[in-house]
Amino acid sequence: MTSNVVKKFNKKSNPPADSGQALLRPERVEGLRKGKKLIKNKIMEKKRKEKIEIVFKKWAKLVSPKIKEILNLSVDEKTQKLVNYQVTVGGKRLRPALTIASCLACGGKIKDVLYPAAGLEILHNYTLIYDDIIDNSNLRRGEPTTWFKFGKSITQCIGMDYAAAVFQAANKSKCPLEISEIFTRAIKTIVDGEILDILFEQSGRKDEKYIIENRYHEIIEKDYLEMVSKKTASLIRACCEVGAISARAKKSEIDALKNYGFNLGIAFQVRDDILDIFGEEKEFGKKIGKDIEERKLGNIVVFYALKELSQKEKEKFLAILRKNRIKDRDIKEGLKLINKTKTKEKSFLLGEKYIKKAKENLKDLPQNSWNKFLAEIADFVIKRVK
């Protein structure tokens, strides 16, 4: 009996390795600390995202009536329904938000920037109308694209209304000549970027002799960055520049915001490329692997994957991109090859690099709450899911 009592006593005195005492070991304490920090960071990140989305929605309510007002100027009532469709199927309204935030960061007033912000959103949608026609895209933001709903001929007519509306918005600003010039440069630069993007395609467009003769069969990172700088970053830079000009900002502040917008724009496109390959279709609002279907080399994930794959795998992937007709099984095969690489992480790091550059430019602006908000927008852009 005595020995049984001793055994019980010893069991109580020597707790097993996974008991409460073991949790006090330094490595366990460190693990708990890191876990709590991770949870705290996720909660803070969620709150920042919610804050940004609330502000975006608030500003969208102010800008959206201006957008419709400008689009419907001098347009027949029967045509207005067609013209309004493109801007009523959703969208983050990131570009007007950046325009307004840039204006406020430089001490400006919202009332002075609403029409230019509306003009920039119209300009953005003007480019999307033609981008969807060029890429033969059926869906955008989870809804039928304008050309898919109304046909290409009608949509090309609608596009001309958008081009005119851009400059009508500029005319309603306090700096019409300056802002019109920025809009003009942005459109022309975007066209240069779009042409590069088309020439990076590996097949298709057999009836277009110029493309066949001038197509890039391989690209380097410099080519990719030139294309996204022109096609995407130029417009985001224009938003920040217009915001600063509307606030009558100093030249140094205008330059700082232009640089912020340019770097943010590159990061935005890098994130878009990542989502095209690794996103969730319901959230992203577009078909996953669409850039593979469109035979694009101008997607950073595809570019990095071709660098990382073995020669045999690279040839297999290029053979998919160079097919006359790419089917869903080809897209799945392409995604499977990409998933064998570490291109997701590498692409994200590239995006982070440009986000860091963007935020560095904010040091040259007045240090106020809107400056901080621009920094939060940068973090939001690289982590967005749609």
Give CA–CA dist 67/166, Å, rounded: 10
Q: What is the model's pLDDT at position 90?
A: 72
223, burial (CB in 10 Å: exposed 0-12, middle 13-18, buried 19+): middle
pLDDT of amino acid 229: 98
* Whole-number pLDDT of residue 30: 66
Using alpha carbons, select from 145, 126, 240 the residue that is nearest to residue 190: 126
pLDDT over 80 (residue 34): no
Mean pLDDT of the chain: 91
In this prediction, residue 202 has a pLDDT band, given cuts at 50, 70 and 90, of: very high
Given a contact cutoff of 8 angstroms between Cβ atoms, the answer to whether 319 and 327 are in contact is no
Token pair recorded at residue 308: 């990382």
Cα distance between the two ends of the chain: 71
Structure confidence at residue 13 as a pLDDT band (50, 70, 90): very low
pLDDT at position 19 is 46
CATH of 52-270+358-383, picked from 3.30.565.10, 2.40.280.10, 3.55.10.10, 1.10.600.10, is 1.10.600.10
Instruction: Look at phi and psi of residue 285 and say left if phi exceeds 0, alpha if psi is from -120 to 50, else beta.
Output: left
Whether residue 105 has pLDDT greater than 70: yes
Q: What DSSP state is assigned to residue 296? A: B
**In this structure, are residues 290 and 276 in contact, taking their beta carbons and an 8 Å threshold?**
yes
- Indicate if the pLDDT at residue 160 is higher than 70: yes
| Residue 269: per-residue pLDDT | 97
Per-residue pLDDT for 122 more than 90? yes
pLDDT for residue 38: 67
Going by C-alpha positions, the residue among 227, 228, 226, 224 that lies closest to residue 302 is 224
pLDDT (0 to 100) of residue 37: 61
- Over the stretch 295-314, which tens digit does the pLDDT of each residue have? 999 999 999 999 999 999 99
CA-only gyration radius of the chain, Å: 26
Going from N- to C-terminal start, the domains of the chain cover 52-270+358-383
Instruction: Tell me the per-residue pLDDT of 205-230, one tens digit each, with 9 for 90 and over.
Output: 999 999 999 999 999 999 999 999 99
The pLDDT of residue 41 is 65
* Beta carbons of 196 and 223 less than 8 angstroms apart: yes
- Asked if the model's pLDDT at residue 8 lies above 70, the reply is no
Average pLDDT over residues 77-91: 91
Please say if the pLDDT value at position 335 is more than 80: yes
Question: 274 and 385 in contact (C-beta within 8 Å)?
Answer: no
Cα 184 to Cα 98: distance, rounded to the nearest angstrom: 19
Give this prediction's pTM. 0.87
DSSP string, 142-195: TEE-HHHHH-HHHHHHHHHHHHHHHHHHHHTSSSHHHHHHHHHHHHHHHHHHHH
The model's confidence at residue 124, banded by pLDDT at 50, 70 and 90, is very high
pLDDT band (50, 70, 90) for residue 1: very low
Calculate mean pLDDT across residues 311-340.
Answer: 96
Distances (CA, A) of 18 to 28, 29, 93, 164, 172: 11, 13, 52, 72, 71
Q: For the residues 124-146, what does the mean pLDDT come to?
A: 92
- The predicted pLDDT at position 39 comes to 75
